[in-house]
A and B are shown apart, each in its own frame.
Chain A
Amino acid sequence: MPDDLTPRPEPGPAAGEIEPILTVPPEVGAPKPNPILVVDNLTRSFGGLRAVDVDHLEMERGVVTALIGPNGAGKTTLFNLLTGFDRADTGRWSFDGQPVTSPSPDQLARKGMIRTFQLTKSLAKLTVLDNVLLGAPGQVGERLPVAPFRSRWRHQEQANTERAEELLERFNLAHMRDELAGTLSGGQRKLLEVARALMAEPVLIMLDEPMAGVNPALAQSLMRHITLLAYEGLSVVFIEHAMDVVTGISDWVVVLAQGRVIAEGPPWKVIHDDEVIDAYLGRRRAGAGS
């Protein structure tokens, strides 16, 4: 399988070195030094509504990128297109240096593009542990000819279980290990889904509102953990509404409104952008009369 051979991304810069992303000008469509994702002319309409209309967008490798925008801006739709869960009307994109020709969700996931869902998809009748174990990549026991012979997958399963337990520990779910996932609260399900996604050893993880409904302290620790992983080379894109959350944890912010990227740049620049503030306050872009 080619995905086993995919080289892990380079680790982040050494201490004292300036983050390459900081050299990028804060302009819409600005090229990045080492992009994980490059999107061109991507559009998707629902009836007369242009939900996504992106001319050019690059996401940097090994950093945390926040995707923000008002309700209905097209953030989730953009995720769906990029991960193959929805079909674009036009456009191309490449992931990890390779053009995505026939986007199928499971193929992209096996290449390391792992997403979570805004409406959580916990597997209700599987235990919490099994939910996380499902995420583990390259399981030999998932192949039918091997499945009946426990001795052939036991060791891998044990190793995966240890990793899964570490993740559960980190997300405060260790005590729920053997409960059915359907018994978890809404916030716990969000956490479980992030743990499961991390279990999949992503190259790029795309989180759709991972902190919605999670208590602030835990959300903080979740994002700290993710920042740490980004430092080790993981590329992270997450969707979020609250601007204050975004400033603390993201290296780069992309703002979407009515399907278009209206601004991007480092968080402290973007949140003071007039156009962004207008979009958030629901004012029309062209007719900002104040």
Chain B
Amino acid sequence: MDFDIIFGNAARAAFGPEAVILALAAVGLNVHFGFTGLLNFGQVGFLLLGAYGTSVSVATFGWSLWVGVVVGLVLSVALAVALGFPTLRLHAVMFAIVTIAAAEIIRILIGSTDAIGLTGGPLSVSFDAGAFYDLNPYPDGPHDRYGIGTFEFTGQQLWVITVGWVLVALVCLAVFLIVRSPWGRVLKSIREDEDAARSLGKNVFSYKMQALVIGGVIGGMGGVIDAIKTSGADPNGFRPQVTFFAYTALLLGGSATYLGPVLGAILFWFLREWIESFLRQLTAEAWLPDAAADFLDGTEGVISVAMVGLALVLLMLFRPQGIVGNRTEMQLDAR
């Protein structure tokens, strides 16, 4: 068993593009759920539209990648508005149900055979993301590698994650700037008690809509990165669990904190990959009984997700506020 390899793999996942995408999804969710109290269970829908908006624009319509990016983000805004108008005045639970259903409906429509001409349907869609990689400043020969051991990226990968993490940093800064303002105070008051906010003259619907759009667009950015990273999009990549992974990252790191969702996303991928690599090596060990090895073989991925779930349960027991959350705030819920 080589723990250097396991650690290298885990670190690679923790800083790789998947973690960037999850971080953006979780930061957006933090604006919805953490700061405004909106129970959005369809965050994956925003990622999907970001990814497909980009991919379809380039692959089907032949537009430039940058137009595609804008289309992806505009579609995220459109989804937020379309979801928010009928549901934001309803009870929080209604909103939750509608969001999860809407995201699934969009995924099923996009992945249906009827949509093959437009989105590639179940076959997924792919396009040339050359416009993005043309800007890559890192030498990217067949032998260029960056990092040590298994913690290693190609020049193209390094370019994606550089852009990705810079984007995450900028988004976090923007969220910080707007949430620490009186505007952010209104969001939090809505989370605590909408009627109190109303009684002080705040237009609750308008603020919820603004939060929904902002968090949705941030999720959409995650989708755009996903499309660029894979040079395409596949309906299977946007199942409901993506939303729940984003919630896991958010709660791991600390809801309603500025850096929590990012730390949570990094930790989520680190743990998940660490456990999976560990199990994979374990399967290969000769001393393991055959039955155990057979069981593990091929199920490492599933088990590692289950383990991350277990980690979340333990965290909720011993540190319910998340890594960077505020304990006293958390305990107020129990009063």
Contact = CB atoms under 8 A, between A and B. Distances in A.
Given A144-B178, A148-B174, A180-B329, A123 B193 contact: yes
A182 interface: yes
Interface in B281-317: none
Interface in A185-201: 196-197, 200
A109 B200 CA distance: 6
A71 interface: no
Interface in A106-140: 106-107, 109-110, 114-117, 121-126, 130, 133-135, 137, 139-140
Nearest to A137: B201
Interface residues of B, number: 30
Given A130-B185, A142-B182, A106 B196 contact: no
A117 B182 contact: no
A153 B329 contact: no
Given A85-B195, A183-B332, A147 B182 contact: yes
B334 to A, nearest CB: 10
B203 A139 contact: no
Q: Is the interface of B mostly helix, strand, loop or mixed?
A: helix
Contacts of A121: 193, 195-196, 199
A146 B335 CA distance: 36
Contacts of B174: 148
B201 A153 contact: no
Contact of B210 (A141, A144, A148): A144
B183 interface: yes
A105 to B, nearest CB: 4
B184 interface: yes
Contacts of B191: 125
A272 interface: no
A53 B256 CA distance: 45
Interface in B178-215: 178, 181-186, 188-189, 191-193, 195-204, 210
A97 to B, nearest CB: 19
Interface-central residue, A117, A121, A153, by most chain B CB under 10 Å = A121
A143 interface: yes
A133 B185 contact: yes
Interface in A144-170: 144, 146-148, 150, 153, 157
B201 A106 contact: yes
- Give the bracket for the number of chain A residues in contact with chain B: 35 or more
A125 B192 contact: yes
A83 interface: yes
B120 to A, nearest CB: 37
A266 to B, nearest CB: 30
Contact of B192 (A124, A150, A183): A124
A134 B256 CA distance: 18
Given A141-B183, A148-B181, A157-B182, A106 B202 contact: yes
B92 interface: no
Contacts of A130: 185, 188
Nearest to A116: B199
A121 B184 CA distance: 19
A196 B201 CA distance: 12
A101 B189 CA distance: 27
Given A121-B193, A153-B182, A109 B177 contact: no
B178 A147 contact: yes
B124 to A, nearest CB: 37
A146 B183 CA distance: 9
Contacts of A153: 181-182
B183 A106 contact: no
A148 B185 contact: no
26 contacts: A106-B202, A106-B203, A110-B201, A114-B199, A114-B201, A116-B199, A117-B195, A117-B196, A121-B193, A121-B196, A121-B199, A122-B196, A126-B189, A134-B186, A141-B182, A141-B183, A143-B183, A147-B181, A147-B182, A147-B184, A148-B174, A148-B177, A148-B178, A153-B182, A182-B335, A196-B200
Interface of B: 174, 177-178, 181-186, 188-189, 191-193, 195-204, 210, 256, 328-329, 332, 335
Given A144-B210, A147-B182, 7 more contacts: A106-B202, A106-B203, A124-B192, A141-B181, A147-B178, A180-B332, A183-B332
